[in-house]
Structure 1
Amino acid sequence: MKTLGLIGGMSAESTAVYYREINRLVRERLGGLHSAALILWSVDFAPIAAWQAKDDWDATGRALAEAARRLEAAGAEAIVICANTMHINAPQVQAATAIPLIHIADATAAALTARGVARPLLLATRYTMEKPFYRDRLAALGLPSLIPDAADRDRLQAIIFDELVKGVITPDSKAAALAMIDRGRAAGADGVIFGCTEIGLLIDPAELDLPAVDTAIVHCEAAVDFALG
């Protein structure tokens, strides 16, 4: 079994999902008392979020690259960034180490394709929805995506940063997200990407009548594929 290096804390709520899901998958595949070999570097999210808000992605990149170097030095054999938005710094993280980075968008694209989705609706932070790093990677893999309108993007950003990253789940926010999905389907979406690792805390993909990919879960599956491959 290879050792995974997780960069977490963005947020701690979804990082807990990563730890639990990776260990569950390893136990399921190997049986008995097996669990994952992993090292977690959990950052303080407050300065990361402040840099995001100021559009200072050089600062976030330096922080994540340093985390990746520390994980590699501790024995990690691959890096897993436990967040979608922070894959904006995937090039800096990959350049900082000699070990592979398991990219969340690649895992997402594979899962969408397996579900027969051709034009997904991307629900995520404003940064992930509006900046090209994520949507361009999906498009290059044959998956052009839709995003909600500006008002819905603002609402979703508030749901994520004011509620989900703090572990707050409300019926009103769930209803708002479900309404966004209905509008996306009306606009031509044939699937949904939970493109923020906290959205799976708000909505269960099984509740939807469109194929939906929880990026945190499929990212964990890709990480375990690597670890056990």
Structure 2
Amino acid sequence: MKVIGLIGGMSWESSAEYYRIINQEVRRRLGGVHSARSLMWSMDFGTIEQLQHAGDWPALTAEMAAAARRLEAGGADFIVICTNTMHRMADAVSAAVAIPLLHIADPTAQRIVSAGLRRVGLIGTAFTMEQDFYRGRLAARFGLDVIVPDEPDRRTVHGIIYHELVAGIIRDESRRAYRAVIRRLVERGAEAVIMGCTEIMLLISQADSAVPVFDTTEIHALSAVDLALA
């Protein structure tokens, strides 16, 4: 079994879900009391969040590359970044180490393509929805037509992530707000919705959407198990 190197803590709420999903899946596949061989470098999200909103991406890139090198030195066989937003510096993280990086967008897109879908709605942090590092990869590598909420809805989605979900706060009012955002994406032609922030799965599920929902946290974690056991 390969050693999974997890860059977590962004937030720890979703990193805990990665750890749970990965270990439950290894036990399901191997039986008995098997669990995953893994290492996690957990960031202080207070520092990360401040740098994100200050737009200090060079400092964030340095933090992420250093985390990847620590995991490599500790014996990790590949790297998993346990957050969508910080894949903004995925190329720099990959270049910092000699071991592979399992990009969160790729297995998600592969599932969407396999389902015969093309036009997808993307919800996540403002960074993920508005910048090209994520949407561009989905379009260029997989031919997906990605649409994002309008500006007021993007503010709503982003605010709920940073003021509630990263702190483990789950509110029915916020769930209703997300359902409305998804409904408007579907009205604009979205055939599916990507939950493009690893905390969103704490708030909504397939039951909250009329179209298929692709949970990047679960997909990424299960893909890490695939690679670990390959």
| TM-score normalised by length of structure 1 | 0.98
Equivalent in the alignment of 1:82: 82
Q: In 2, Cα distance between the equivalents of 1:163 and 1:85?
A: 17
- What SS does the aligned partner of 2:194 have? strand
Question: How far has the Cα of 1:27 moved from its partner?
Answer: 0.7
Equivalent in the alignment of 1:66: 66
Equivalent in the alignment of 1:14: 14
- What SS does the aligned partner of 1:122 have? strand
Question: How far has the Cα of 1:56 moved from its partner?
Answer: 1.1
Q: In 2, Cα distance between the equivalents of 1:116 and 1:201?
A: 27
Question: How far has the Cα of 1:47 moved from its partner?
Answer: 1.2
- What SS does the aligned partner of 2:83 have? coil
Question: How far has the Cα of 1:118 moved from its partner?
Answer: 0.8
Q: In 2, Cα distance between the equivalents of 1:106 and 1:3?
A: 20
Equivalent in the alignment of 2:122: 122
* Structure 1 position 172 matched with structure 2 position 200: no
Question: How far has the Cα of 1:205 moved from its partner?
Answer: 1.9
Q: In 2, Cα distance between the equivalents of 1:116 and 1:213?
A: 13
Q: In 1, Cα distance between the equivalents of 2:36 and 2:21?
A: 10
Q: Partner amino acid for 2:221?
A: C
Question: How far has the Cα of 1:92 moved from its partner?
Answer: 1.2
Q: Partner amino acid for 2:194?
A: I
Equivalent in the alignment of 1:135: 135
Asked if the contact 1:115/1:211 (under 8 Å) is kept, the reply is no
Q: In 1, Cα distance between the equivalents of 2:108 and 2:116?
A: 12
Asked if the contact 2:182/2:209 (under 8 Å) is kept, the reply is no
Greater alpha carbon shift after TM alignment, 77-86 vs 44-53: 44-53
Question: How far has the Cα of 1:146 moved from its partner?
Answer: 0.5
State how many pairs are aligned.
229
Q: Deviations over 1:158-187 (max 9, x none)?
A: 100000000000011000000001100100
Equivalent in the alignment of 2:223: 222
Asked if the contact 1:193/1:213 (under 8 Å) is kept, the reply is yes
Equivalent in the alignment of 2:154: 153
Q: In 2, Cα distance between the equivalents of 1:164 and 1:67?
A: 24
Question: How far has the Cα of 1:91 moved from its partner?
Answer: 1.0
Question: How far has the Cα of 1:89 moved from its partner?
Answer: 0.9
Asked if the contact 2:120/2:192 (under 8 Å) is kept, the reply is yes
Asked if the contact 2:183/2:209 (under 8 Å) is kept, the reply is no
Q: Deviations over 1:108-155 (max 9, x none)?
A: 101212232211100000000000000000001111210000000011
- What SS does the aligned partner of 1:80 have? strand
Q: Deviations over 1:187-225 (max 9, x none)?
A: 010000000000110001244221110000000111111
- What SS does the aligned partner of 1:145 have? strand
Question: How far has the Cα of 1:54 moved from its partner?
Answer: 1.1
Gaps of 5+ in 1: none
Asked if the contact 1:117/1:211 (under 8 Å) is kept, the reply is no
Equivalent in the alignment of 2:145: 144
Question: How far has the Cα of 1:55 moved from its partner?
Answer: 1.1
Q: Partner amino acid for 1:180?
A: V
Question: How far has the Cα of 1:29 moved from its partner?
Answer: 0.9
Root-mean-square deviation (CA), in Å? Answer: 0.8
Q: Deviations over 1:23-52 (max 9, x none)?
A: 011111111111000001000011111111
- What SS does the aligned partner of 2:26 have? helix
- What SS does the aligned partner of 1:106 have? helix
- What SS does the aligned partner of 2:180 have? helix
- What SS does the aligned partner of 1:40 have? strand
Equivalent in the alignment of 1:205: 206
